[in-house]
């Protein structure tokens, strides 16, 4: 195991067999230690924070795993207005957020013009902040318009890089091909791009996870978000097993070694699967947290999976709570726009 970790640490590629051994290793001390050493080399002790604004729970899609899927008729839906969103940003700015992530279902009630108008207003009121969008699959023209309006970053997990697996998680009208097209379009347009996948989604094999790592080597994203799959009681996957915490942590460490510069969040899903999951994520190589800035009244309604944490506290309480958690893991929550240190072109040597 030591040799495999050293190979990744030296920025050399591993074959699929080596990656599989690391994904399931019980021998995690050295793996996490090396991952943290690498993150310290590029980011010292800084943990970046992003204010997450979940601005709509309407979605036209029907991803089988997600509680926001259109066919979930048990969910009370909401959308925030432009003024609501700006007010969340104002609150966030005061307590030290310098990135706002606008996330939502694929809600066609907001036209591209509406999205552009919100983005450009945020950029004009908070010029020292980054705006990240996470609103799913759109056309090249739409992504171009958002970028021209000022959007800096875009989060779109590829979810799984295996065609057959993708089909089992999504309805007929969605395709891995289009998901990938979106990601490469976003790169072309100069966004800082985030991708990623769920760990332990139904039918996922360890070979699928190796394909996910290979796809990320091809895409070279700036941000990589992973988290455990967690079932939602009003979806077709209600009775499925949740993802494994250990696999998630091992994968965070592997990602850190493979993509030294990447921005890797300790996700809410990680904090949901274990009370100290986010701290564990930071200790395995993550360097970003994404506290919730949405109005408390709607947080429970953004219901991707059951028992989601952080649905009750005000934004300032969330930030303070997270700052304490970050400190307890040995790092420091910073007020910083939190750009990637360097384009990850020098990531793992696959030669
Ligand atoms: N609609 C946009 C999209 O799909 O990219 C953004 C919002 S979507 C809710 C954000 C992410 O939530 C997805 O990329 C997916 O990985 C994650 N997610 C959805 N359902 C989940 C579940 N049951 N367990 C864990 N993560 C889930
Ligand atoms: Fe909609 Fe995104 Fe949920 Fe899929 S994952 S149903 S696109 S919100």
Q: How far is CA 66 from CA 29, 69, 132, 173, 224, in A?
A: 33, 6, 21, 16, 19
Contact status, residue 311 vs residue 293, Cβ threshold 8 Å:
no
CA of 215 to the centre of ligand 2 (A): 21
pLDDT tens string for the chain (351 positions)?
A: 899 999 999 988 999 999 999 999 998 999 999 999 999 999 999 999 999 999 999 999 999 999 999 999 999 999 999 999 999 999 999 999 999 999 999 999 999 999 999 999 999 999 999 999 999 999 999 999 999 999 999 999 999 999 999 999 999 999 999 999 999 999 999 999 999 999 999 999 999 999 999 999 999 999 999 999 999 999 999 999 999 999 999 999 999 999 999 999 999 999 999 999 999 999 999 999 999 999 999 999 999 999 988 888 888 888 889 999 999 999 999 999 999 987 555 566 665
Contact status, residue 223 vs residue 61, Cβ threshold 8 Å:
no
| Angstrom distance (rounded) from CA 128 to CA 134 | 20
**102 Cβ contact partners less than 8 Å away, ≥ 6 residues apart:** 53, 55, 85, 118, 119, 131, 132, 133, 134, 135
Six-digit token string for 268:
């809410």
The predicted structure's pLDDT at residue 349: 64
Contact status, residue 286 vs residue 279, Cβ threshold 8 Å:
no
CA of 7 to the centre of ligand 1 (A): 32
Ligand 1 pocket by C-beta < 6 Å: which residues? 65-66, 68, 103, 105-106, 134, 136, 156-157, 159, 198, 227, 229-230, 232, 269, 304-305
CA of 56 to the centre of ligand 2 (A): 11
**156 Cβ contact partners less than 8 Å away, ≥ 6 residues apart:** 134, 136, 137, 179, 182, 183, 186, 193, 194, 195
| Ligand 2 contact, 105 CB (< 6 A) | yes
SS3 258: helix
Ligand 1 atom nearest to 302, measured from its CA = 9
Give the closest ligand to the alpha carbon of residue 156. 1
The closest residue, in CA terms, to atom 4 on ligand 2 is: 63
Domain ranges for the chain: 2-334
- For residue 228, what are the β-bridge partners? 199
Q: What is the CATH number of domain 2-334?
A: 3.20.20.70
The predicted structure's pLDDT at residue 275: 96
| Angstrom distance (rounded) from CA 138 to CA 197 | 19
Contact status, residue 294 vs residue 54, Cβ threshold 8 Å:
yes
């Amino acid at each position: 195991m030591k040799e495999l970790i050293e190979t990744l640490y030296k920025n050399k590629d591993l074959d699929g067999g080596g990656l599989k051994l690391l994904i399931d290793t019980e021998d995690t001390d050295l793996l996490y230690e090396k991952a943290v050493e690498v993150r310290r080399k590029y980011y010292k002790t800084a943990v970046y924070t992003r204010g997450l604004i979940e601005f709509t729970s309407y979605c036209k899609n029907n991803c089988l795993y997600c509680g926001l899927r259109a066919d979930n008729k048990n969910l009370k839906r909401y959308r925030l207005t432009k003024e609501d969103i700006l007010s969340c940003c104002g609150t966030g700015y005061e307590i030290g957020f310098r990135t706002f992530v606008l996330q939502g279902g694929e809600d066609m009630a907001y036209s591209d013009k509406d999205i552009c108008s919100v983005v450009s207003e945020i950029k004009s009121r908070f010029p020292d902040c980054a705006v990240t969008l996470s609103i799913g699959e759109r056309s090249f023209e739409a992504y171009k318009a958002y970028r021209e309006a000022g959007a800096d970053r875009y989060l779109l997990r590829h979810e799984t890089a295996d065609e057959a697996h993708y089909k089992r998680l999504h309805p007929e009208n969605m395709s891995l091909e289009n998901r990938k097209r979106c990601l490469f379009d976003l790169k072309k347009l100069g966004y800082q791009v985030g991708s990623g996948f769920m760990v332990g989604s139904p039918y996922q094999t360890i070979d699928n996870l190796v394909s996910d790592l290979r796809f990320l080597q091809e895409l070279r994203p700036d941000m990589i978000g992973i988290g455990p799959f967690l079932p939602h009681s009003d979806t077709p996957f209600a009775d499925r097993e949740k993802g494994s915490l250990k696999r998630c942590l091992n994968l965070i460490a592997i990602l850190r070694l493979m993509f030294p510069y990447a921005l890797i969040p300790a996700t809410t899903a990680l904090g949901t699967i274990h009370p100290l999951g986010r701290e564990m994520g930071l200790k395995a190589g993550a360097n970003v947290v994404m506290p919730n800035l949405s109005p408390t009244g709607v947080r429970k309604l953004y219901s991707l999976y059951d028992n989601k944490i952080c649905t009750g506290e005000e934004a300032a309480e969330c930030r303070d709570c997270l700052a304490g958690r970050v400190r307890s893991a040995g790092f420091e929550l910073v007020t910083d726009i939190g750009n990637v240190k360097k384009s990850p072109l020098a990531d793992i040597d696959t030669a």
